[in-house]
Chains A and B, each alone.
Chain A
Amino acid sequence: MTRGLPPPLLAALFVLAACAPLLLAVASGEPPEALQAEAGIGLGLAALALMLLQFAHSGRLETIAGRIGIDRTMRVHRSAGIALAAMALLHPLAFVAPPLFTNPELALRGLAGMLRAERMQSGVIALALLLVVVAASLARGRIGLAYQRWRALHAALGLAAAAFAVDHALRVGLYSGSAPLRAFWLGGLALAGSALLWTWAIKPIRDARAGWRVASVAPLGPDYWEVTLHRPSGAPLSFAAGQFAWLAFGRRAPWDDNPFSIASAPGDPRLAFVIREAGDLTRRIGALPLGSPVRVDAPHGAFVLDPSDRRAVLLIAGGAGIAPILSIWRDLAARPDAGAVRLVYGAWTAERLLYRDELARTAAERGFGLFLRVDEGPLCAGATRGILDASILREALTGLDPNATVAMVCGPTPMMLAVAATLERLGLPPEAIRYERFDYD
């Protein structure tokens, strides 16, 4: 299990790597051109550096995402993608900037002439590919592009754009002719290609060979299934409670997998998952043959408790968000030294409150607090009606010091954001509120 680099070091490395071509250009000793040309060059250098850095942000490299979590990693990936597309668009415009305001027709003619030149071809292709990649990512939901298909396209077109852009820099770049900057671009492109090769070829083969098989499939409630996996070697997966796995049921393409939180506790030889019937894949879950192979890429995610943290633990789950929360609950239940633990768990209907008997049993045995909420339909034992609002959260925090409590929240994104805001109002410090969104729009 890799824990990843600490956030301040990652931030420093990110800025340093993004600015390295600018520094190398300055160090080349070439005298600067006119202001607009230098602006154009600077935008191009930074855009290409950011583009190459994007390949480290796939979310699959635990050295990057292990500590900061998938949310921050993908947020940087998304924002950097938009920023680098803006820089790449401004890059050619900067060269014709002065007449753009005084004589736009002349500027546009100059720009068209520049872009038509044969030596500019790779740059134009790189820019076009980049714009397609960014636009398709931002509009994926609206144009109905399936997640797996989009992911494969995103990686392939992204690498092609980076390769054409590096060719463009080496062909026409004023500073990129210097040996250090040339080495930086070629080395960066090689690293970007290696990151993709690792994620989409080497790692999937290794993960498929790990030998995980479907051990059981059982209905948990309306729309919900529990799937457990085991491997004949019997070695448990090393992970921390709250982490997730990318699963591919059967023999599937490397990019054809989905993230699921692990619901079992670390040390359990079987990996358990709570799967809700929603998309194409999850609708077929009930028909999964026992013993069929599963590719498991795990563990991932930073939704974990620090074992040395002595604060009280408030667990909050909504709907399918119970999976990682259950793993943490089970892990805490197995620890004789666990402090105060409270669980607030809400679902649409009572039969969608999963693992009720186990939760009630553990709560009684270990003295953990259990607060169940049902939105609609008949209530069940121990449940009250309503959503996960301030009243139930206040009740769950009774007797706890909000400043010495850490909250782990999992559920639909609007619920997590609302719960996080409520917890802040109830006195929890922002850094003590943890959640993973898995959506980046």
Chain B
Amino acid sequence: MPRVERRMRTGVRLLLGAVWLAVALFALRALVL
């Protein structure tokens, strides 16, 4: 697979990874607060 295609897929994974991370941080509030 060309790098140009891999870059696009990585970019999309990063976007959605940021949302999953935000969900995890939101849940972890329960342990801190």
What residues make up the interface of A, taking CB atoms closer than 8 Å to B? 11, 14-15, 18-19, 22, 25-26, 31-35, 37-39, 41-43, 45-46, 50, 71-72, 75-76, 79-80, 83, 87, 417, 420-421, 423-424, 430-431, 433
Contact = CB atoms under 8 A, between A and B. Distances in A.
Contacts of A25: 26
Contacts of A433: 2, 4
A125 B23 CA distance: 23
Contacts of B11: 11, 72
Contacts of B24: 39, 42
B19 A18 contact: yes
A431 B16 contact: no
Given A79-B16, A424-B2, A430-B2, 5 more contacts: A34-B30, A38-B27, A46-B23, A87-B23, A423-B2
Contact of A421 (B1, B19, B23, B30): B1
A71 B31 CA distance: 41
B29 A32 contact: yes
A43 B23 contact: yes
Interface in B1-30: 1-5, 7-9, 11-13, 15-16, 18-20, 22-24, 26-30
B2 A39 contact: no
Nearest to A94: B27
A22 B26 contact: yes
Contact of B8 (A34, A41, A72, A87): A72
Contact of A39 (B4, B12, B23): B23
Contacts, number: 87
Interface of B: 1-5, 7-9, 11-13, 15-16, 18-20, 22-24, 26-31, 33
Given A14-B15, A18-B19, A19-B22, A35 B27 contact: yes
Contacts of B4: 420, 424, 430-431, 433
B3 A11 contact: no
Contact of B5 (A26, A45, A420): A420
Given A26-B29, A430-B3, A76 B15 contact: yes
A26 B33 CA distance: 11
A35 B30 contact: yes
A80 B26 CA distance: 19
5 contacts: A19-B22, A38-B27, A72-B11, A76-B15, A79-B12
A79 B13 CA distance: 8
B2 A38 contact: no
Given A15-B15, A15-B18, A424 B27 contact: no
6 closest Cβ pairs, A-B complex:
A420-B2, A39-B27, A42-B26, A430-B4, A42-B23, A421-B2
Nearest to B9: A75
A33 B30 contact: yes
A240 to B, nearest CB: 20
B33 to A, nearest CB: 5
Nearest to A33: B30
A133 B20 CA distance: 22
A50 B5 CA distance: 23
Contacts of A26: 26, 29
A75 B9 CA distance: 8
Contacts of A45: 23, 26
A31 B33 contact: yes
Contact of A46 (B22, B29, B31, B33): B22
A410 to B, nearest CB: 14
